Amino acid sequence: MVAKNGRRSWAEPYKIKVVEPLKTTTREERRRAIEEAGFNTFLLRSEDVYIDLLTDSGTNAMSQDQWAGMMLGDEAYAGSVNFYNLERAVAEYYGYPYLVPTHQGRGAEHILSQVWIEPGDHVPNNMYFTTTREHQERAGGTFVDVIIDEAHDPKSEHPFKGNVDLGKLGSLIEEVGAEKVPYVSVAATVNMAGGQPISLENLRAVRELTRSHGIKVVLDATRAVENAYFVKHREAGHEGRTVAEILHETCSLSDAATVSAKKDLLTNIGGFLATFDEELFEEARALVVVYEGLHTYGGLAGRDLEAMARGIVEMVDEDYLHSRIGQVEYVGEKLAEAGIPIVRPVGGHAVFLDAKGFFPEMPQDHFPAQTLAAELYLDSGVRAMERGVVSAGRNRETGEHNYPSLELVRLTFPRRVYTQAHCDVTVESVLEVWNNRENVRGLRMVHEPKHLRFFQARFERL
């Protein structure tokens, strides 16, 4: 049967071999659970969650080949064979000759920031990401947003809302001096903008501008495979290329990359810093011993290194990518057809609900996105994540909330985990919350951690 849009139905390119039971709960049980969690979905117990769309970080289902590789873990303290397998895979698919493994992506961000950022530096980014910005600022840098304006507009249909605004970047360099800009931090895709990609054309232009000023480019390649998929399908001239080829070129336009292996690489733990820069490699390899573990294991077991190496091969399979991104598109299209305000176009790893669209009269300091995430869990047991004023934190100079233009709730889909039926349940729950939105009250924060508050903050009803 052919759908109205002319597309044939598709199915996941795998079959289920092992199942994990899910627990259904009553509304009263969910009410108690969310109140005990201080209306913060991060503080819910996993056993109280029905469909967990909190994050795609480390929540993926590994393949039989990855699980088989886990049994070949070489747990030697130094020189594990699995490290060299990973090193070869990174060189082949990403192109970087130098590899420093870390326990996860923020370990790589921390080490990079310690090596390349000096107090007083300015680090331009195509929109902030929470842990990236935290490490840059703790190293003495100042975050500067240089993303295009369309990224801050959830209704914009710009196909590459992750693009860097070259005018903003050029103005910053002119204002502070190139010597105060150690590198440009480029995410592919941009999580906080709704999982939006950056085009190869734009990345080439960034590379050309920075090279003329002697400034380096660092790629957050955590979801670079999904970015490559969008380049193939949205950017003219790349239709006939493979995702693997596009990924390789993307990385070639940078000096280094930080990667959380818990996303694209289909693993439950792991990360790395990879680079073309031998000097950075030597300094990072020295620091990883201080913060993570020996340079050939970086805080990971040999079996985890092997799962990462095998995941790199699997992550560029285009049947898998079509299924993975198609699942997200399916939910996004269902919600858009029902008139639900979401970030457009739909990104690669998640559908982002526009909380301002749900609660247009709710002030941002009543935390609309946090409220919406709590309401969604209360309705159905679906756990989502706030990406708004709570995640944005406070201004380090004034102490006031940072008020981002985007106040979002992220429905993040783990890779190879949920079926279309789970997607339909999620859509129905969002619709139910939407239909009852006028009865919802906001929240006030009653506990605020000093760092990355969105993980542990607690709230109560106004």
Contact indicator for 291, 111 with CB cutoff of 8 Å? yes
Instruction: Give me the domain span that covers residue 347.
Output: 27-56+318-461
In a domain, 48, yes or no: yes
pLDDT averages per 10-residue partition of the chain, 462 residues: 59 91 96 98 97 97 97 97 98 98 97 98 94 94 97 96 98 98 97 95 98 98 98 97 98 98 97 98 97 96 98 97 96 97 96 97 96 98 96 90 94 96 97 97 95 94 96
Backbone angles phi, psi at 382, to 5 degrees: -80, 125
Residues 341 and 279 in one domain: no
In a domain, 341, yes or no: yes
Total structural domains within the chain = 2
Residues 190 and 280 in one domain: yes
* 129 is annotated as an active-site residue: yes
Residues 309 and 328 in one domain: no
What is the predicted pLDDT for the residue at 128? 84
* 454 is annotated as an active-site residue: yes
Residues 184 and 96 in one domain: yes
Q: Which of 207, 387, 415, 453 is catalytic?
A: 387
Contact indicator for 404, 354 with CB cutoff of 8 Å? no
Residues 223 and 358 in one domain: no
In a domain, 16, yes or no: no
What is the predicted pLDDT for the residue at 130? 87
Residues 362 and 439 in one domain: yes
What is the predicted pLDDT for the residue at 2? 44
Residues 167 and 94 in one domain: yes
Residues 232 and 324 in one domain: no
What is the predicted pLDDT for the residue at 439? 95
Residues 43 and 145 in one domain: no
CATH for 32: 3.90.1150.10
Residue whose C-alpha is closest to residue 409's, from 4, 65, 151, 40: 40
In a domain, 21, yes or no: no
Residue whose C-alpha is closest to residue 298's, from 113, 57, 71, 107: 107
Residues 311 and 325 in one domain: no
The model carries a pTM of: 0.94
Q: Which of 130, 275, 296, 371 is catalytic?
A: 130
What is the predicted pLDDT for the residue at 160? 98
Inter-helix orientation angle 302-315/318-337, to 10°: 70
CATH for 114: 3.40.640.10
Residues 171 and 300 in one domain: yes
| Amino acid type, 381 | G
Q: Which of 30, 106, 161, 263 is catalytic?
A: 263
Choose one of 281, 315, 349: the last residue of a domain.
315
Contact indicator for 287, 295 with CB cutoff of 8 Å? no
Q: Which of 14, 23, 65, 77 is catalytic?
A: 77
Contact indicator for 194, 226 with CB cutoff of 8 Å? no
Residue whose C-alpha is closest to residue 453's, from 414, 399, 405: 399
Who contacts 168 (Cβ-Cβ below 8 Å, separation ≥6)? 124, 145, 146
In a domain, 6, yes or no: no
In a domain, 12, yes or no: no
| Cis peptide bond N-terminal to 131, omega within 30 | no
Choose one of 291, 315, 339: the last residue of a domain.
315
Q: Which of 50, 129, 320, 358 is catalytic?
A: 129
Choose one of 315, 342, 368: the last residue of a domain.
315
Question: Residue 247, Cβ neighbours under 10 Å: how many?
Answer: 26
What is the predicted pLDDT for the residue at 418? 96
Residue whose C-alpha is closest to residue 94's, from 198, 220, 191: 220
In a domain, 1, yes or no: no
What is the predicted pLDDT for the residue at 12? 87
Residues 232 and 262 in one domain: yes
Residue 77 burial class via C-beta count within 10 angstroms: exposed 0-12, middle 13-18, buried 19 and up: exposed
* 387 is annotated as an active-site residue: yes
Strand 382-383 relative to strand 408-412, pairing: unpaired
Q: Which of 39, 128, 272, 454 is catalytic?
A: 454
* 263 is annotated as an active-site residue: yes
